[in-house]
Structure 1
Amino acid sequence: MITVAVDERRSIRTVTLDRPAARNALTAAGLEALEEAIGDANEAVIYLEGRGPAFCAGADLAAVGDLDGDRDAAEAFARLGQRVARTIEESPAIVVAGIDGPARGGGLELALACDVRVGTPDSTYGEPGVTFGLFGAWGGTVRLPRVIGEGDALEFALSGRVVDAEEARRMGLISRIEDDPRSVAEEIAGNAHDAIAALKRRLRDDRDRAAQERREAEAFGELVDAHADDVDAVLE
């Protein structure tokens, strides 16, 4: 489900979401494996990608359906996703998301936790949870407005619409569009490793999100309780 490859010469760890038949959707086990792959890294740069035609469809809807309206279990699932996103954000490495194809829901939220987001011309972005009574709860309500601004964040999240790479760049969801996003990870890894690590610490050191993420998980649990039938309908 998660594969890891290391380029020792460049000091780049490539972490691949490797479940292409499910558009790299993540179960709890997949999230835990991703957390381990990021947390164990000693390289200067981590490159996060998805195998196949999608970057990541977010949470596996079957796993969400299995919560069966259980508010406590839903909050626990949200907190697991939040923990993985924090692991990405707080990694000493520079984490670059290379996004090709769809990044949806939790997949977009994990990308938001990365330090740099680079999309291909075929990449697309969306938070579709509102269409069936939920929302992304892996830290997205905290990070999205900080990345793209409150106005764009509200319109984007409330509409549930999908944006292409050009609009994503305009909004600030991604910083660059490249045919080969990995080239940006290699570019960063070519700089002094102590300098890029220090820059990340300085730019990230004022972002305490614990209270906001707790409220996000609680709200997600309430919605799973209220919309269990709607999630089941999506799965049918």
Structure 2
Amino acid sequence: MNFETVKLREQPGVLYVTLSNPPINLMNGTMIRELFQLSGFLMQRKDLKVVVIDSADPDFFIAHFDLDELEAGLSDPAMAGRYPDMNAVQALALNWQNLPQITIGKIDGRVRGGGLDLALAFDMRLASQSSLFCFPAASGHFLACGGGTTRMLLAAGPGRE
């Protein structure tokens, strides 16, 4: 598989996925389509037990969804595939959440918006001390729509007194 925004390196039982969409690793339609293709590939690769996802950019795991493509990308039915009632980011996160492999996000730098929605769908997230996590929807006065707010609550667990 040749991808534009995703680089793959395979070792026995492990697939290393490096996200690379310079200059700041924006999530865009191309990255979403490639990650959908990769999730389909992974569903058929039972020999792969672990998928480790990192970024080629030390400052940005995924900056956020490319705002120039936001409206078109989130409503593109071709990207949502079998989930027609969901936007592309929600459907992508659900695909990755349901992979048979253990998915590990190796996060260094900023992860925001759609990137955080995706990272929260991984089984584990390991972050450097310099990592920054952000939901820009709250300060941008728009609805967070990738499913990350729900996943964040589930990852944090119930409050205890």
In the alignment, what sits opposite 1:58? 64
Aligned pair 1:32/2:11, yes or no? no
Distance 1:74 1:38, change over 3 A: closer
Does structure 2 retain, via aligned residues, the 8 Å contact 1:109–1:136?
no
Q: Specify which of 32, 52, 58 is matched with residue 47 of structure 1.
A: 52
> Over aligned residue pairs, what C-alpha RMSD do you find?
2.3
In the alignment, what sits opposite 2:83? none
Shift of 1:74: 8.0
SS of the residue corresponding to residue 16 of structure 2 reads: strand
SS of the residue corresponding to residue 119 of structure 2 reads: helix
SS of the residue corresponding to residue 147 of structure 1 reads: helix
Amino acid at match of 2:75: A
After superposition, residues 107-118 of structure 1 pair within 5 angstroms as: 107-118=115-126
Bigger Cα Rg: 1
Aligned pair 1:85/2:123, yes or no? no
Q: Distance in 2 between matches of 1:136 and 1:58?
A: 12
Q: Distance in 2 between matches of 1:134 and 1:149?
A: 25
In the alignment, what sits opposite 2:20? 18
Q: Distance in 1 between matches of 2:143 and 2:55?
A: 22
Larger strand percent: 2
Q: Distance in 2 between matches of 1:142 and 1:74?
A: 23
Shift of 1:57: 1.2
Amino acid at match of 1:25: L
Q: Specify which of 131, 141, 144 is matched with residue 139 of structure 2.
A: 131
Q: Distance in 2 between matches of 1:91 and 1:121?
A: 28
Q: Distance in 1 between matches of 2:64 and 2:11?
A: 27
Does structure 2 retain, via aligned residues, the 8 Å contact 1:105–1:135?
no
Q: Distance in 1 between matches of 2:39 and 2:21?
A: 17
Distance 1:57 1:150, change over 3 A: farther
Q: Distance in 1 between matches of 2:28 and 2:94?
A: 17
In the alignment, what sits opposite 2:6? 2
- Higher mean C-alpha deviation, range 140-149 or range 115-124: 140-149
Query: Number of matched residues?
Result: 143
Of all paired residues, the percent bearing the same amino acid is 27
Amino acid at match of 1:54: F
After superposition, residues 159-174 of structure 1 pair within 5 angstroms as: none
Distance 1:150 1:130, change over 3 A: farther
Larger helix percent: 1
SS of the residue corresponding to residue 15 of structure 1 reads: strand
In the alignment, what sits opposite 1:175? none
Distance 1:81 1:121, change over 3 A: same
Normalising to structure 1: TM-score of the pair?
A: 0.55
Structure 2 unaligned blocks of 5 or more: 81-85
SS of the residue corresponding to residue 20 of structure 1 reads: coil
